[in-house]
Amino acid sequence: MIMSVTGAKISCRAIFLLSSLFLFAACAAPGPDQDIVFDQADCAACQTAFPQGNWQFVHEIVFHFRAGEGRFLGIVVLDDYELRCALTTLEGLTVFSAKASRSSGGKIEVQRALPPLDKPGFAAGLLADLRLLFTVPASLPRCGWRRGERLCRWSDISTVEDVLVSQENCWAIQAFREGRLVRTARASACAGHDGYALPDFISLRASGDADYQLEMRLISAEKTGQ
């Protein structure tokens, strides 16, 4: 994966606005549905929402937020142990790159962060969004049904993550923190690929004060290694 390309101009306004996305705390939002009857059957269905094994993804990403929008290319590389990511301008200049353990508690190592993407909170927020989209939670889920869709719920003391799998084998994810909705991700135009419901499009919405949305259009997806 190429993490840096020289000779391109950075859109300072776009990068500055992007860096502010992850510096807000979410305010009150609806909590997880408490009317689910969990039957424990077919929990494996929700695994299709997450890529298993080693992958490399390239997306065109549009960031929508209160002050405007920015466009970048996003590169995500997964192996059995790490999640690595980079953001580049459309001209090819890498403005941010980092890596972390695939587990939710993994330490983040920032390899490149051009100002103002080096501000506190940016790397943690970006990696949290990528883990939500590409990493299956570590604990065991409880599974049931909601309005005809398979639902799997991973939970601990302060967080809940719900994955919904539709009859068309596409998926949506909701993440709650301390009872409040903080992230909603929806996939569309999914196609089976090595056990993964690979979507052409993903939208991710941050609820509360963060109030931003990412639209991710798939450019390439490659299963790497074994």
pLDDT tens string 141-181: 999 888 878 899 999 888 999 999 998 889 999 999 988 99
> Domain count of the chain?
1
Residue 104 has a pLDDT of 65
Residue 36 has a pLDDT of 76
Total-model pTM: 0.83
Cβ contacts of 139-146, under 8 Å, gap ≥ 24: 140/43, 141/43, 141/46, 142/38, 142/40, 142/43, 143/38, 143/39, 143/40, 143/41, 143/42, 143/43, 143/45, 143/46, 144/36, 144/37, 144/38, 144/39, 145/36, 145/37, 145/39, 146/33, 146/36
Residue 1 has a pLDDT of 39
* CATH number, residue 147: 2.50.20
Question: Is residue 53 within 8 Å of 223, Cβ to Cβ?
Answer: yes
- Where in the sequence is the domain holding 189, given as residue range(s)? 12-224
| Tokens, residue 217 | 């259009």
Residue 32, CA atoms < 13 Å, CB-side half-sphere: 22
Residue 63 has a pLDDT of 83
Residue 154 has a pLDDT of 93
At residue 167, the 3 state secondary structure works out as coil
DSSP string covering 3-51, please? ----S----HHHHHHHHTTTS----------S---B--TTGGGGGGGS-
Instruction: Classify residue 1: in a domain, yes or no.
Output: no
Instruction: Classify residue 197: in a domain, yes or no.
Output: yes
Please report, as a single letter, which amino acid is at residue 163.
V
Residues of the chain where predicted confidence (pLDDT) is lower than 50: 1-17, 19-29
Residue 85 has a pLDDT of 97
Instruction: Classify residue 33: in a domain, yes or no.
Output: yes
